[in-house]
Amino acid sequence: MLSALKKRAVLLTRIARASVLFRRWTMKDRIIADGYVRIVNHGTLSVDRLSDFRGGSIPSEFIVHPGGQLIFGESSTINYGVSIDCKNRVTFGKRCMLSKMVRIRDNDGATVAPVTIGDDVWIAHGALIEPGVTIGDGAVISAGSVVIQDVPARMMAIGNPARNVPLAVRPKHELERAPGLSKQETDSLRSKA
């Protein structure tokens, strides 16, 4: 009983924190934030429903210059230390997973080109996404990669500079539930997303 109450209290804290952080911008329902997100928004910033901003040692940072559009998709998970710099347009699809310390920018001082990220994309720890990149649905960006060219759907980008390789499929029995989450919670998360 007490642990259920505690979990509810933690969830409400996260929702409240997200409401405060994103109070001035387009916001939908059920967004939770675990840590501090630094937002400098002079353009358009849109955070969609069921998004989850994780906290950690370094705050995330979204910087949108005048005329820029930063649009997150629904059910996204964004970890700590993510840094997004938008002068033109950075768009995310649904169910994106951004790991820690990912850096995405659409301007590098010389070129300004929009970055488009599709649905179900997993960008692993510390990746760098450079201007003008389009990432297809279901793609995976490996840890530490520097992506300078488009990534087709369901391919994996790995390396510096990143090259595209097909995704290796692993056997299903290797999966297990996230630690700390019961089967009920996992199912309810999955059904909502």
Partner 1 sequence: MTIDQGTVSPFHELAARLKLRRCTSVGQAIRVFGKVDVVDRGIRRIGDRVTLDASTCPIEIKAEPEGEIVVGDDVYIESGVSVWAYSRIVIGSRVRIGAYCQLVDNHFHMPGEDRFMFPKSKPVTVEDDVVIGAHCILLPGAPIGQGCIVHPRAVITRRIPPNSEVRGVPATVTPRAKPAVPSC
Under a CB-based contact definition with an 8 Å cutoff, are residues 149 and 129 in contact? no
How far is residue 78 from each of residues 12, 23, 32, 155, measured CA to CA in Å? 18, 18, 10, 21
Among 13, 19, 26, 160, binds partner 1 (CB under 8 A): 160
Q: Which of residues 16-55 bind partner 1 (CB under 8 A)?
A: none
Q: How far is the CB of 82 from partner 1 (least distance, A)?
A: 14
DSSP 145-168: -EE-S-B-TTEEEETTTTEEEEPP
Q: Is 189 in the site for partner 1 (CB under 8 A)?
A: yes
Q: How are beta strands 155-158 and 163-166 bridged, if at all? A: antiparallel
Among 1, 24, 110, 190, binds partner 1 (CB under 8 A): 190
Report the interface residues with partner 1, using CB under 8 A. 56-58, 95, 97, 99-101, 120, 122, 125-126, 138, 140, 142-145, 154, 156, 158-160, 167-170, 172, 174-181, 186, 189-190, 193
